[in-house]
Structure 1
Amino acid sequence: MQIDADNHDADSHQVIQVRGARENNLRNISLDIPKRRLTVFTGVSGSGKSSLVFGTIAAESQRMINETYTAFIQSFMPTLGRPDVDGLNNLSAAIVVDQERMGANSRSTVGTATDAYTMLRIIFSRLGTPHIGTSTAFSFNTPDGMCPRCEGIGQISDIDVDQLVDRELSVNEGAITVPGYAVDSWYWQVMAGSGFYSPDTKLKDFTEQEWADFLHKDSVKVKVGSNNFTYEGLITKIQRTYLAKDREAMQPHIRSFVDRAVVFTDCPDCGGTRLSAAALTSRVDGLNIADCSAMQISDLATFVRRLADPGVAPLLTSLRELLDSLVEIGLGYLSLDRPSGTLSGGEAQRVKMVRHLGSSLSDVTYVFDEPTIGLHPHDIRRMNDLLLRLRDKGNTVLVVEHKPEVIAIADHVVDLGPGAGTAGGELCYEGDVDGLRSSGTLTGRHLEHRARLRESVRAPRGQLSVKGADLHNLKDVSVDVPLGVLAVVTGVAGSGKSSLIHGYLAGQEGVVVADQSPIRGSRRSNPATYTGLLSPIRTAFAKANGVKAALFSANSEGACPNCNGLGLVYTDLAMMAGVSSVCEECEGKRFTPEVLGYELRGKNISEVLDMPVAEAREFFTTGQARAILGRLGDVGLGYLRLGQPLNTLSGGERQRLKLAINMAEKSSTYILDEPTTGLHMADVDKLLALLDRLVDDGNSVIVIEHHQAVMAHADWLIDIGPGGGHAGGEVVFEGTPAALVAGSDTLTARHLREYVSS
């Protein structure tokens, strides 16, 4: 990589120099980012913020760090390509604190992920009575401390036999309903020919011995016909082949079967605590380590403050500071035994952030991706304090963010745009916040923009009633959610909003949930396949060229044989991260040369799938394709490419994609979970217009949201609180936004009042 020749004075080492960045849609931009300062990157979704911050700066830092390892070690690491940039100078080591969930490893908890549990183990090994050994005696991840029955998982699995078989039928009649065991299948033949029972006897008539052999027999050799096979009882085989696998790695039909057939219950030996009986006997100030782990972190912080012992004084201080930081960042409602895989993207990001606050490293570049996601305005102030603390330790802090409250604390702002996708990628402004306000850019114009309280609210046309809700922290909540209006549910993080709405309304008839959860599907899925858009596109290509439509599917006949239509070749490195490279045969275009020779109005199928939604709307002006593209544009996804893999979409983008699909359904009730996630301030107004349109078309819209613009625009507000965790779980206000502002003193009321009066 070339070193830029200009600016080699003493000041040049105080900035990260970016010269000629062209990654994704970036248009050859150059800028200087001050080091040891807080820089916020703004711009509409798809403007190029992530391409600059993550795809260029953080990616090159990571690549250069990897190059410091020996060739032997590098051979086991994924090969990172150089970002498309002329020069990147004065980089420091970059740590990306993103919203990726923390993995579904059942052995990972909030306590293990933050090292809080490690500190607690050492404290119990020193202060606990009776003394039972070293800190490993309190670890559920080591043989010393784990419960032998559940091996430190805390749960045991039980199989519902009636989800595996139909007792009214015989094996020959298809009694086994497990996937892969259909009559005449390989597994079925071994079961039917095993000789342990008659395949013509109905299961309900099996003897006790036949039933035991059928379900639980250990592996044994049997002769079926002239061949030898290994026979196992049905449950024995399912436990070995299905239950030993990670759920997320299963094929969808296997996963749905396992979810039906397997019931997980707390381990009866350890009561779900994961720990050995000895570990549970040792106590400090009347509590064992499982009691401490199950406590809300805010309560645990109070408990730890009561402890004093010179032998572990430094450790107690460190644990207190860590727990206080978790409380300060708005995670005081969590417990240390909470599995880390159950945290939302925003919660996972904040847990990672606290981990770095305790680090003694300085002069590091920390990169954050919308750290305010999932945060009430009350909690955003605390998040800002932590970002500033990281900066004040001598670090460079780079934040991709839309919220004006975070932009306001920036030392430096970089605004990208002016639009999204091909209409973005330019440097619109860089400088201080005051300069941004007067810059005339889209971000600058919207910085002081405020949505007004709705002047007249719609009258409800019925209601969904919840009675005596007590899931998680809800305290016997009864509430009527009005229908035919825009109803917004709000409250601080952990107050019980999601427990109320997802726990009690989501399953009801006619209720459609559009959330940010990952979309089931492989890396082959994209907006065109997921929305059904590919079907009319394939038909149009087939009709124009007089050939069959299957040629224009990268999952079918037209696929490049080298990459099987992926456009990428994946190399599996077993336990290491896999490596992908662009297919050399099709150069990433996914189709055979023959298929790429067919055109529709001057474009081949690969070029059409590379179009952003907005461009495709101009290309397909009629029919089903135009209708689907119109809905994608309406939800603010005009910049998405039709063929972009779904696993590259953010949570907010996934939610808006699901909403676009559901908008084609007949009138219903929509539940949206933080739909402003990832939206620029200018796009929030468009979202409000879309929500209005949904309601005016006869739908009901229920939104879980923290954004004051959405609260102000609501017909009806339900505020849950007053705090998070066991300090929440109550309805603290029901009524119009105007009534909340005029007469309530909840945390939401205070922030909304400040918002509409500024």
Structure 2
Amino acid sequence: EEVEVIYKSDNIKSYKIKKIFEGIIGNIKRRWRETDSLTMRDELSKYQSSTTCDACSGHRLKAEALAVKIDGKHISEITELSVRKSYDWFQGLTTKLTDKENEIASRVLKEISERLGFLNNVGLEYLNLSRKSGTLSGGESQRIRLASQIGSGLTGVLYVLDEPSIGLHQRDNSRLLQTLSNLRDMGNSVLVVEHDEEAILSADHVIDMGPGAGIHGGEVVAQGTPKQIMSNKKSLTGKYLSGKLSIPIPAERRKGHFAGKKRKEIVISGASSNNLKNITAKFPLGLMTCVTGVSGSGKSTLTIDTLYKAVARKVNRNRVIPGKHDTITGLEFIDKIVEIDQSPIGRTPRSNPATYTGAFTPIRDWFSSLPEAKTRGYKPGRFSFNVKGGRCEACQGDGLIKIEMHFLPDVYVKCDVCDGNRYNRETLEIKFKGKSISDILNMTVEDGVKFFAAIPSVCDKIKMMQKVGLDYIKIGQAATTLSGGEAQRVKLSKELSKRSTGRTLYILDEPTTGLHFEDIKKLLEVIQALVDMGNTVIIIEHNLDVIKTADWVIDIGPEGGSGGGMIIAEGTPEKVARVKDSFTGYYLQKVLKYK
């Protein structure tokens, strides 16, 4: 349809033109098609959703390919099975084939069964064969690669693994460790970066780095067998392994918030997304709750896909589609929901802890109020590396130059104009206590707290990062160099520095990933502080040190995939430990017996 458009401007007279109105959907489609900007695509993707293809019903193949069947199943029906079910199907296939067919297929079936067996042994029996790789967690991806290496049968190889136990329940951990032992027994060397107690104790040789983190680390504190590490007085890891140090169990569990005699809680009824079996889950408010269960049991589906998205849609007005459920009640007791995940705090080197936590704004204000800055007429914007003026234009305030490698990951090199300082010479001439704005950004959090001790607006925000155990990172450290665990703790520190209403619901997904025993102890102190303010914290977790300190536990299972999706136990850790059908309860008994 042709419409009349009137253009108005301050400089020229208004004029009219007639043009065809493409419509809102047409406009979005055109902009999506024409743009090269990732930011614009992210924005436009909010108006899109994925639906199953009508032509192939989601099978991805033509009708001719799907017409070929073995034992009544086409290839897509097989790939939609879990690893465990497909393994059983291939095992039973030999009895249904003729002698001639078995002779033809024997080598192929043997290869398929072995590879599925490897996936089974590394704790991935719940995954569907057709699962998209982009939806896998880091731990799952690593274990798939591990399974493929076992199948290769190579010897004399040095394998390096970074926390293979991520996302694994204690029950599945022993199978993973057995797989690593098998790799070793084949004549290979296996080097594992790990914090898991069971993994460390099963190692032949341990190298303990420390004594602290960042500038306080970088030394070999102890090395030898696990027993030798435990007897070494300098080793913090050894003290936790031997039991000399431990994360304490709370003297008493919180009761939560009550309205009269009725406990305040958020109740989700009829949750049936993915593998959830039409369950009703109750999340008490004012408590620290752990959602537990074996890998693939449905923890994330219930907590992130259903609870978080349903609450965020209604309370935060987010445009998200929650997992399938009937009703959700109790939202009147909270005023916002926050998911603190391990995603990066920014995508460019300009994003850093100072900008994310809000500490950089008062730092820039302080520098602009210095006599020399006032004389030169410098405003706070002069000390920003996001706008022109004070920043180095060669690197546009990054301090680094990005070199595109096309078929390889991009490489960052130090800017040779500003020498990585981000600012131009004139800006760097403004100094406070002999330090330029660049020197401040290169300070560690620990040094920053001392340096800004007399300036509460800066010190308070930096001190929160110190509280969550990040005293070793630099105030202006590029977001691209922070680990997932560090990024998550920066987000936690930001939440801690906010004025609490006592009505916030926080959701954390495996916050102990990448953390040492001592780091977990500090993290728990921060989480408990959030709950003490009246807030509610829900954590998806496998780590028993975290689970034992929770006020409430919801255990989902009993198995992963189609064998899970039910609430097996709920209550205090002591109550869950007494439930015979709960795998989490079985392992909780071992850590609670010392109470």
Aligned length: 539
Q: Distance in 1 between matches of 2:269 and 2:405?
A: 52
Distance in 2, Cα, partners of 1:463 & 1:236: 42
* Matching residue of 2:60: 274
Spell out, residue by residue over 1:83-115, the C-alpha distance to the aligned partner (whole angstroms, 9 max, x if none): xxxxxxxxxxxxxxxxxxxxxxxxxxxxxxxxx
Of 347, 353, 357, which residue of structure 1 is paired with 2:150? 357
Displacement of 1:680: 0.8
Tell me what 2:43 maps to: 256
Q: Which residue does the alignment assign to 2:92?
A: 306
Q: Which residue number in structure 1 is paired with residue 240 of structure 2? A: 446
What is the CA–CA distance in structure 1 between the aligned matches of 2:144 and 2:440, rounded to whole Å? 41
Counterpart in the other structure of 2:435: 603
**Structure 1 runs (4+) greater than 6 angstroms displaced:** none
Deviation string 1:307-350 (CA, Å, 9 cap, x unpaired) is: 33222322221211111121221211111211100111221221
The amino acid of 1:561's aligned partner reads E
Matched, 1:570 2:402: yes
AA aligned opposite 1:259: K
Task: Please give the secondary structure, in 1, of the residue aligned with 2:106.
Answer: helix
Q: Which residue identity is paired with 1:714?
A: A
Q: Which residue of 1 aligns with 2:221?
A: 428
Contact 2:345 2:351 in 1 (8 A): no
Deviation at 1:455, TM superposition (A): 3.6
Greater shift in the superposed pair: 490-499 or 677-686: 677-686
Cα distance in 1, alignment partners of residues 477 and 206 from structure 2: 29
| 8 Å Cα contact 1:590/1:606 also seen in 2 | yes
Deviation at 1:756, TM superposition (A): 3.0
Q: Alpha-carbon deviations, 1:276-309, whole Å to 9, x = none?
A: 1111111011110000111111101111112332
Contact 1:528 1:534 in 2 (8 A): yes
What SS does structure 2 have at the residue aligned with 1:587?
coil
CA apart distance, 1:485: 1.2
Q: Which position in structure 2 is the counterpart of 1:514?
A: 340
Selected match of 1:662 from 495, 502, 508 = 495
What is the 5 A alignment of 1:721-740? 721-740=557-576
Q: SS at the partner of 1:586?
A: coil
Deviation of 1:196 (Å): 5.8
Which of 458, 467, 478 aligns to 2:269? It is 467
Aligned partners of 1:616, 1:307: CA distance in 2, in Å?
Answer: 66
**Are 2:148 and 1:345 aligned?**
no
Q: Secondary structure at the match of 2:351?
A: coil
Q: 1:755 to 1:448 in 2, by over 3 A?
A: farther
Match of 1:95 in 2: none
Matched AA of 1:574:
H
Per-residue deviation, residues 689-721 of structure 1 (Å, max 9, x unmatched): 222221111111111111111111111111000
Structure 2 residue runs of 5 or longer lacking an equivalent are: 95-101, 258-263, 316-335
SS at the partner of 1:373? coil
**What is the DSSP-based 3-state SS (H/G/I as helix, E as strand, rest coil) of the residue aligned with 1:652?**
helix
2:420 corresponds in structure 1 to 588
SS at match of 2:553: strand
Contact kept, 8 Å, 2:346 with 2:480, in 1: the verdict is: no
Task: Quote the residue 2:357 is aligned against.
Answer: 531
- Give SS of 1:701's match: strand
CA distance in 1, matches of 2:34, 2:302: 37
Decide which of 584, 588, 592 is 1:748's aligned counterpart: 584
Matches of residues 488-507 of structure 1 in structure 2 within 5 Å? 488-507=290-309
Contact 1:672-1:703 at 8 Å conserved across structures? yes
Question: Take 1:171 and 1:321, find their aligned partners in 2: how far apart are those partners?
Answer: 68
> Which sections of structure 1, spanning at least 5 residues, go unmatched?
1-166, 175-182, 198-202, 204-210, 217-232
DSSP-derived class of the 1:731 partner: strand
2:207 aligns to what?
414
Q: How does 1:110-259 map to 2 (within 5 A)?
A: 172=5, 197=20, 234=27, 237-238=30-31, 240-242=33-35, 250-251=38-39, 253-259=40-46
Q: Report whether the alignment pairs 1:613 with 2:437.
A: no
Matched, 1:316 2:109: yes
> d(CA) in 1 for partners of 2:582 and 2:77?
32
Partners of 1:349 and 1:376 in 2: how far apart?
A: 16
Q: CA deviation at 1:519?
A: 3.6
TM-score (norm 2): 0.86
Does the C-alpha gap of structure 1 residues 636 and 236 become closer, same or farther in structure 2, counting only changes over 3 Å?
A: closer
**1:552-567 matched pairs, under 5 angstroms:** 552-556=383-387, 557-567=389-399
- Cα distance, 1:236–1:379 mapped onto 2, change above 3 Å: closer
Higher RCO, 1 or 2 (CA under 8 Å, sep at least 6)? 1
Counterpart-to-counterpart distance in 1, 2:538 and 2:433: 43
Give 1:702's aligned residue: 538
Shift of 1:255: 1.4
Report the RMSD for the aligned CA atoms in angstroms.
2.4
Q: Distance in 2 between matches of 1:171 and 1:619?
A: 62
* 3-state SS of 1:300 partner: helix
Q: TM-score normalized by structure 1?
A: 0.68
The structure-2 alpha-carbon separation of the partners of 1:539 and 1:526, relative to structure 1 and needing over 3 Å to count, comes to same
Distance in 2 (alpha carbons) for counterparts of 1:490 and 1:616: 38
Aligned to 1:551: 382
Q: Deviations over 1:547-569 (max 9, x none)?
A: 32222222222222222221222
- Tell me how far apart the structure 2 counterparts of residues 325 and 738 of structure 1 sit (CA, whole Å): 35
In structure 1, C-alpha distance between the alignment counterparts of 2:248 and 2:473, rounded to whole Å: 30
Structure 1 pair 661/173, CA: closer, same or farther in 2 (3 Å)?
farther
Displacement of 1:171: 6.2
Q: Is the 8 A contact 2:5 2:19 kept in 1?
A: no
Indicate if the aligned counterparts of 2:56 and 2:62 stay in contact, CA closer than 8 A.
yes
The answer to whether the 8 Å contact 2:344/2:482 transfers is no
Question: Which residue of structure 1 aligns with residue 322 of structure 2?
Answer: none
Q: Measure how far apart 1:170 and its partner are.
A: 5.2
Is 2:478 aligned against 1:478?
no
Q: Give the drift of 1:477.
A: 0.7
After superposition, the C-alpha distances for 1:566-621 in whole angstroms (9 at most, x for unaligned) are 12222224344333322212222222122222211121222211112122111111
Q: Is the 1:453–1:737 contact (alpha carbons within 8 Å) kept by the matching residues of 2?
A: no
In structure 1, give the amino acid aligned to 2:571. G
Contact 2:256 2:284 in 1 (8 A): yes
Q: 2:470 aligns with which of 620, 628, 637?
A: 637
